DNA sequence: CACTTGACTTAGACATTGTCCATTGTAGGA
DNA sequence: TCCTACAATGGACAATGTCTAAGTCAAGTG
C-alpha cells in the first residue's frame, strides 16, 4: 500500500496517522469492507480514530478513484481497493462472501440501440449471485 | 392490476383497503418506487395508511414473487412490479431515471468456470449507467 | 527549530431508511 | 351477526450515513 500512499502524497494529500491506517486496512485481494468494518479494523491500529474520519477518508479515496464503492447488498456500501483492473462481482446469497470476477465479452455491446431509450450509456455493473462452496455444502 | 389482486386473493391474501392501495400504486411500466414513495402515493388515496403497513405489504409482495426488489442506487430499495418478464436496468447517473431493458445474450454464460471459485452461480443482475436524454442535453 | 495556518480530526447531534412490537381494528368464515 | 385469526397502527428502536463546531496538527516558512 505504500504505492497508494505515494500517489496520494503526490496528489497533495496531507499525510496523517488516520489516513495511513485507513489505507493500510484497504489492502489485499477480494477486499470489500463496509465503512464500519474499516472503522473496526482501523481502531485496532489507532484506537482514537473516529467514525467521521473513516467516512471522510473513504469518500476522498473514492473521489480520487483509488477505491471503488460497491453495493452488492442492500445494506451498507462496501469499499474496494481493486480500482485499477475493471471487474465485476460474485456474491454468496447466504453468507455474503464476495469475489472479484472477470467475465468474458462486453455486456455494453449486448444492449441494442432499441433498448437504450436515447440514453448515453457509459458503464455497466454485473453482479453474479449464488452459493459459495461452504454454503452450498451446508 | 386487478390481475394481481385476483392472484393474491387466490393465494389466500386477506384483502384490505391498504393492500389494495399499495397494489394500485405499483402498476405500470418502468415503475421503480422506493418504499417512502409508495407510502406517499398510498397516503394520497388512503390518508390513514401507516408506514409500517407499506413496508409489510411490500415485503409480502416480494416474498410472493409478485414484486422485485431492486437496488440501483445506494440509498433506498426500489420496488418493481415487472416481476414476470426477466429484465435488467438502465439508470441515469444524474437524475436517477430508471428504464427496464432486455439485453441480448446470456451474461451467465460469460463467466468461465475458472472465475466461479467453486460457487454455484444461479443469477445475474446487470445495471447499465449513463445519462438520460434530458440530462445529456443539459 | 519554532511559528503559523489552513486542512484535518473529533464527538455527537441529526437524517434517512428500515425493523419490531404491543395494541387496536377488521375481513371473512361459521 | 359474531368470532377470531390475521392485519394495521404508531412509536420505539436499529443501522447506516451526514453534518457541524471546536480543537488539533502536518508541513511549509524563516
Ligand atoms: Mn471488487
Ligand atoms: Mn424493472
Ligand atoms: Zn456463502
Ligand atoms: Zn437523467
How crowded is residue A120: how many other Cβ atoms within 10 Å of its Cβ? 14
Q: Which residues of A touch B101 (CB under 8 A)?
A: 111, 115-117
| pTM listed for this prediction | 0.92
Dihedral Cα A39, A45, A48, A53, nearest 10 deg? -40
Residue corresponding to grid cell 467475465: A103
> In this structure, what CATH number is given to the domain that contains residue A68?
1.10.10.10
The whole-number pLDDT of residue B2 equals 60
Instruction: Indicate the length of chain B as a whole number.
Output: 138
Shared-domain flag, residues B72 and B102: no
Shared-domain flag, residues A39 and A57: yes
- Could you tell me the pLDDT band of residue B1, with boundaries at 50, 70 and 90? very low
Shared-domain flag, residues A24 and A64: yes
Q: Could you report the per-residue pLDDT of B6-25, keeping only the tens digit for each?
A: 888 888 899 999 999 999 99
**Residue of B93, B99, B115 lying closest to A117 (CB–CB):** B99
pLDDT tens sequence for chain A (138 residues): 467 888 888 888 999 999 999 999 999 989 999 999 999 999 999 999 999 999 999 999 999 999 999 999 889 999 999 999 999 999 999 999 999 999 999 999 999 999 999 999 999 999 999 999 999 997
Shared-domain flag, residues B111 and B76: no
| Separation of CA A128 and ligand 1 centre (Å) | 12
Distances A120 to A123, B53, B92, B136 between C-alpha atoms, Å: 9, 39, 9, 7
Instruction: Indicate the length of chain A as a whole number.
Output: 138
Residue at which a domain ends, from B54, B80, B106 = B80
Domain count, chain A: 2
Residue at which a domain ends, from B59, B80, B101 = B80
Of residues B117, B72, B96, B69, the one with CA closest to residue A89: B117
Q: Could you report the per-residue pLDDT of B54-113, keeping only the tens digit for each?
A: 999 999 999 999 999 999 988 999 999 999 999 999 999 999 999 999 999 999 999 999
CB–CB of A35/A42 below 8 Å? no
Over 80: is that where the pLDDT of B3 sits?
Answer: no
**Interchain CB contact of B107 with A (< 8 Å):** yes
* Nucleic acid strand C: bases within 7 A of protein CB: 7-12, 16-21, 26-28
Shared-domain flag, residues A9 and A76: yes
Distances A46 to A17, A22, A43, A103 between C-alpha atoms, Å: 8, 10, 5, 39
| Separation of CA B121 and ligand 3 centre (Å) | 11
> Whole domain around residue B25: which residue ranges?
4-80
> In this structure, what CATH number is given to the domain that contains residue B114?
3.30.1490.190
The whole-number pLDDT of residue A2 equals 60
Amino acid at each position: 500500500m505504500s504505492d497508494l500512499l505515494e500517489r496520494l502524497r503526490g496528489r497533495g494529500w496531507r499525510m496523517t496517522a488516520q489516513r495511513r491506517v485507513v489505507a493500510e486496512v484497504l489492502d489485499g485481494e477480494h477486499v470489500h469492507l463496509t465503512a464500519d468494518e474499516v472503522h473496526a479494523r482501523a481502531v485496532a491500529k489507532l484506537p482514537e480514530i473516529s467514525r467521521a474520519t473513516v467516512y471522510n477518508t473513504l469518500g476522498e479515496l473514492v473521489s480520487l478513484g483509488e477505491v471503488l464503492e460497491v453495493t452488492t447488498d442492500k445494506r451498507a456500501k462496501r469499499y474496494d481497493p481493486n480500482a485499477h483492473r475493471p471487474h465485476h462481482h460474485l456474491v454468496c446469497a447466504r453468507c455474503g462472501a464476495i469475489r472479484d470476477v472477470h467475465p468474458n465479452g462486453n455486456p455494453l455491446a449486448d444492449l441494442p440501440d432499441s433498448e437504450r431509450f436515447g440514453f448515453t450509456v457509459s458503464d455497466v455493473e454485473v453482479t453474479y449471485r449464488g452459493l459459495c462452496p461452504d454454503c452450498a455444502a451446508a
